[in-house]
Amino acid sequence: MNLLARRELSEMQLRERFRKRKFETQAIETALESLRQEGALDDRRTAFAYARTSVRLTVRGRRRILQEIVARGIDDETAREAVDAAFADVDEAEVLSRALAKRLDGPIRDAAHLRRLHRSLRQQGFPTSLIIPALAAHPTNIEE
């Protein structure tokens, strides 16, 4: 139970932690079933909590948050529902703006800087359709 005390964990994450602590497979499955029955282990709740926290505290786009939830062993449909709910009252363009503000300390210096910014924002899960207008809105030192 201490493993769940700090933050929500998915079933896959908890199973892996039990394995690392060298518990036997049958004991792990029994513990997981007991935790599910008690309501202490719920992948849906975990997905929604992770998505909400990611949108609020990190500067990641929908795609990246979705990938991170799925990587925690949560099914695609639940992950998509969680991400949609988390972004329901948050504009992804605003999250992208915060991400860009963290990366920029002045104007965009040159074409290489522009490419690095674009690549970084793509890796953070933002779509190009939002990245290009956001970058275009920032001052630049690029000569045309």
Judgement on whether residues 54 and 106 belong to the same structural domain of the protein: no
CA-atom Rg of the chain in angstroms: 20
pTM: predicted TM-score of the whole model, two decimal places? 0.85
* Residue 102, in any domain of the structure: yes
Is 62 in the same domain as 111?
Answer: no
For residues 117 and 66, state if they share a domain.
Answer: no
Domain final residue pick, 71, 86, 101 = 86
The torsion angles phi and psi of 100, rounded to 5 degrees, stand at -65, -40
37 and 82 share one domain: yes
List pLDDT tens digits, range 1-57.
Answer: 455 556 789 999 999 999 999 999 999 999 999 988 988 899 999 999 999 999 988
For residue 52, the enclosing domain spans 2-86
**Which residues make Cβ contacts (< 8 Å) with residue 86, sequence separation at least 6?**
48, 51, 52, 54, 55, 65
Question: Domain check: are 34 and 102 in the same one?
Answer: no
Note whether residue 60 is domain-resident: yes
Q: Are residues 70 and 25 in the same domain?
A: yes
Question: 96 with 45, same domain?
Answer: no
CB 8 within 8 A of CB 50: yes
At 6, the amino acid letter reads: R
Total tally of structural domains belonging to the chain: 2
Residue 63 has what DSSP assignment?
A: H
Q: What is the pLDDT of residues 42-92, one digit of tens each?
A: 999 999 999 999 998 888 999 999 999 999 999 999 999 999 999 998 999
Whole-angstrom distance, CA of residue 16 vs CA of residue 90? 33
Looking at the fold, whether 44 and 100 belong to one and the same domain comes out as no
